[in-house]
Every structure is written in C-alpha cells, then in structure tokens.
Amino acid sequence: MSRARILRQGAGGIFLLTFMAVFTFADYTYEDQPYVSQMASVSESEDAQEQEPSIEPPDDGEKEVAQAVLVGTVSHTEEWENNRNSFNVYCRDSGEEQWLRAPDVYWSGEKFCLSAVVSGKNQPSMIKVRIEDSPYETTLRRKRGIWEGALFDNSMINRWGRDGKERLQFVFSAAIDGNHCEDMQQVTVDDLHKYWLMHRKE
C-alpha cells in the first residue's frame, strides 16, 4: 500500500513532493523464519536420513536342514590292540621292522569293534554293518547316545590273509530322515605271521 501527498505553494509553482511509502508484509517477516533456522532444519533432515536404520529383507521362514550323514569306524578290542603293540615291540627288538603292524592291520579271526556317528534331523532305528563279499553282518544299537557293536565268528579264524595282506571292506548302512545312507571303511588283514603262542583270537 502507498500514499503520496502533493503540496502546491505560491505562484512560483513550487512543488513539494513528499512521497511516503509504507510496505507491509502480513504473512512473512524476517523475524518469523530467519535463514539460520532454515539451514538448521535442512541439516536435521539430513541427519534423520543418515540415522535411518537399514531395512532387513523379510524372513522367508526357511531354515537350514541338517544333512543326513553316516560315518562308521572299525577298531581293535583293547586286548587285540595290546597284542598289536606287543608284536611291534618284538619286531623292533628283533630287527624285523618291515613287519610292523599299523593300527588298521588285523589278524584273521580278531573281533572287529564297530561304531558309528549319525548326523541328521532324526536318529535311525538301527545301523547295519556287513563285510562286503562275505556272509558276515551285524546290527549296531544305540547305547548312551553312541552306536556300537561287534562282529566275530569262529569261521573268520584263518579265513583271510594267510598268504599276505588282504583288504576287507565294511559297509555301514542306515535309513536317516527317509534317506538311505552308506559309509565304507577298509581294513587290512595280515595273517602271514600268526600271533605267536596265542591259543584263541576272539
């Protein structure tokens, strides 16, 4: 809004022009929204964006399923492990180290100690073990959370390894979580050197 006042005085036509202008801003003044406040508002907005947590992908509900696995083990009885160690001492003392027997070497007719470890959602009801290409087989039972068993028959005495080392393959099998699982373990039977002065092998 503006207002002008014009005064004419005397014949000389002296004009005095007084111009008064008044500007008013009804809705906006510098005091209402200072520049600094605008900058602060922008800064706060940027901070809010930087601090906004990342959005994780939605959980599809899928869980890792334990894979069904069967692992078998063949070992000596405590007595036959002692016999093996004694035989190795004898070989060293007599200078016949070429006949030393490794942990996986057995005499024909030893009792085989069997065990297995199973991983999966559920444990099987039983685990079967057989010696490949032979009539020998047995079943492992779970005792105190461990699958154990043994395999021996009198007909095993002198059956393998009479002319030198012979490999035997043990087949462990079980149904785990609806899947047929197998594991193969091999041992060596060497009956070329009869265990001296042993009256029974089981």
Which is more confidently placed, 67 or 131? 131
Which residues does 178 contact at the CB level (< 8 Å), separation at least 6?
Answer: none
Q: Cα dihedral sign for 103, 106, 107, 112?
A: positive
Q: How confident is the model at residue 199 (pLDDT cuts 50, 70, 90)?
A: very low
Strand partners, 182: 173
Which residues does 179 contact at the CB level (< 8 Å), separation at least 6?
Answer: 68
Q: Tell me the mean pLDDT in the region 101-118.
A: 95
User: For residue 67, what pLDDT is reported?
Assistant: 84
Any idea which residue has 């809010």 for tokens? Answer: 48
User: Across the chain, what does the average pLDDT equal?
Assistant: 76
Distance CA 86, CA 67 (A): 42
Which is more confidently placed, 121 or 38? 121
Q: Is the pLDDT of residue 9 over 80?
A: no
Which is more confidently placed, 32 or 122? 122
Distance in angstroms between the alpha carbons of the first and the last residue of the chain: 122
pLDDT digits (tens, 9 = 90+) for 37-89: 444 444 444 554 555 555 555 555 555 556 889 999 999 999 999 999 999 99
Strand partners, 171: 130, 184
Distance CA 130, CA 141 (A): 14
- Using alpha carbons, select from 112, 58, 114 the residue that is nearest to residue 80: 112
Dig out the tokens for 171 from the structure: 């087949």
pLDDT digits (tens, 9 = 90+) for 154-174: 999 989 998 889 999 999 999
Which is more confidently placed, 109 or 128? 128
Which is more confidently placed, 11 or 74? 74
